[in-house]
Amino acid sequence: MTSESQPLISIGLPVYDGEKYLRKALAALLAQDYSHFELIISDNNSKDGTEAICREFAAQDLRVRYIRQPQNQGPLWNFEFVLQQGRGEYFMWAAHDDLWEPSYIRKCIEALQSHPEAVLCCTEVNFIDGEGNPSSFYVGFKNLETLGLAPVERIHRLIARMGWYAIYGLMRPEAIRKIKSLGVSAFGIDVVMTLELLLKGHIVKVHEPLFSFRIERGKTADDYKASFKSERGPAPAMELPYTGLALDLLRTVYESGLSSQEKRTAFADFMLVMSSSQVGWRALITQELLGPGIALNDAGFAYVLGQVLARAVPMAELREDPLMQALYRPPQTVPDVLTLAKIILGQNGSAPHLPPREKHRQGSLLFEQGKLEEASRLFADAIREQETSERWTDWATVQIARERRAEAEQGLERALDLDRNNTLAALKLGILMAGDGRFDNAIPYLERALPKLDGPKQAQTAELLSNCRMRLVARSAK
């Protein structure tokens, strides 16, 4: 097939002071085994050696189009600029510090051509550090895929995770150019953009790690805020970044074309996920709104989150909605918010006719049979309806078997939140962390579990604990 008969791919690479990694990123893009593409580089008036590197590559390869901006317009303006410059049938953003395997573009095109219902194709992700070595960040992470899911289920897939990297995939430009959040300066706007895309269609995934995302340790929230600065004006205010992200996601759902029932289900699911399983995000919102050291139970956090929901949704339009009404009851009725969310999901979720205990029992049988996907869904249904430490432990065990280690860790932490005496959860969490090389984190959990074990399991745990201590000493001696 000649390049003229292949679809043109537009790659947009916005950059500012990117000389440290830029050369490797450009080399990886130009080494793609799919050659019919244009690479649009928009340089936000860099002060380092970025310009020289870009001009060098542009002189060597006619596919490279280099544009230097007269002033720093800010990163989000630059991301939108390269998108609007693209002329291709498909488009992808490329960050100046990431890497791609040679087959990345070709396999993403094939997936999108096979799935016209998809608006974006991503691949599995490798995480690398500043030196290009494998990073332990998000061990077991699986990128987003939504084929066959209804809109509310797609929303759930997005909010029930920490780590959003699908937006760097190959997409249909007619879909991304129509989203409202394009170019908006706000924390986590890439997550909001992904949500808008999910409301337009599906994400399909190539089940190979063809994309390497660079994680630089040591970056602070202030560093992130500083990256939004431009010569056009001050950076956007980000005093409550994680609360603001939740608000923006809820508002996006409200302003979508979903039916009233779908919106209600999505709001209820958001409240339940954030209150019960999104441990990290929940802690960040609590700290932003109430200050450090504050601990809320699930019902209390649901009430606080409900106030965020109320800011996202015009109350005059939803006065008769029971979930909205519950948000404005006196504090002694705070549990009603979380209970109502569970009831709404029970009315619209899967297999509501089965009691939670039976779902848990059937999930255990399916797990024994090796039917991991079915077991995971049943355990999740049981947890939504009646949360217990045991169910979180069993759900996390299934995630370990599915090689979803990050999700398993969150589930085990939640199990211990509910019952700090859950020996099995502590043991599994310790083993999980030890397997990831996080010996200092693993030791307290193994120490907690050890006295309550007996027989061979106690001996094996004692050996693992001793090994973790030795590894930690050896590491500190280097």
Burial of 455 (C-beta count, 10 Å sphere; 0-12/13-18/19+): exposed
- Average of per-residue pLDDT values in the chain: 85
Say if residue 199's pLDDT is above 90: yes
Say if residue 43's pLDDT is above 60: yes
pLDDT band per the 50, 70, 90 thresholds, residue 336: low
Question: Alpha-carbon dihedral of residues 262, 263, 266, 271, nearest 10 degrees?
Answer: -140
Residue 221 is predicted with a pLDDT of 52
Helices (H) and strands (E) in the chain, counts: 21, 8
Encoded tokens for 440 = 């200092």
Residue 150: count other Cβ atoms within 10 Å of its Cβ: 11
What would the pLDDT profile of 406-456 be if each residue is shown by its tens digit?
888 988 998 998 898 999 999 999 999 999 889 889 999 999 999 999 888
Side chain identity at residue 464, one-letter code: L
Residue 20 is predicted with a pLDDT of 95
Q: 130, 217 in Cβ contact below 8 A?
A: yes
Say if residue 314's pLDDT is above 70: no
Compute the average pLDDT of residues 159-168.
Answer: 87
Residue 331 is predicted with a pLDDT of 46
What would the pLDDT profile of 80-105 be if each residue is shown by its tens digit?
999 999 999 999 999 999 999 999 99
What would the pLDDT profile of 118-153 be if each residue is shown by its tens digit?
999 999 999 998 888 888 767 678 899 999 999 999
37-41, 120-124, 272-276: least confident range: 272-276
Residue 333 is predicted with a pLDDT of 46
Q: Which domains does the chain have, with CATH numbers?
A: 3-226 (3.90.550.10), 241-348 (no CATH), 420-478 (no CATH)
What would the pLDDT profile of 59-75 be if each residue is shown by its tens digit?
999 999 999 999 999 99
Residue 33 is predicted with a pLDDT of 97
- Residues of the chain above pLDDT 70, percent: 85
Residue 219 is predicted with a pLDDT of 53
Residues in the chain, total: 478
**∠ CA 325-287-271 to the nearest 5 degrees?**
35
pLDDT band per the 50, 70, 90 thresholds, residue 349: very low
Compute the average pLDDT of residues 163-168.
Answer: 90
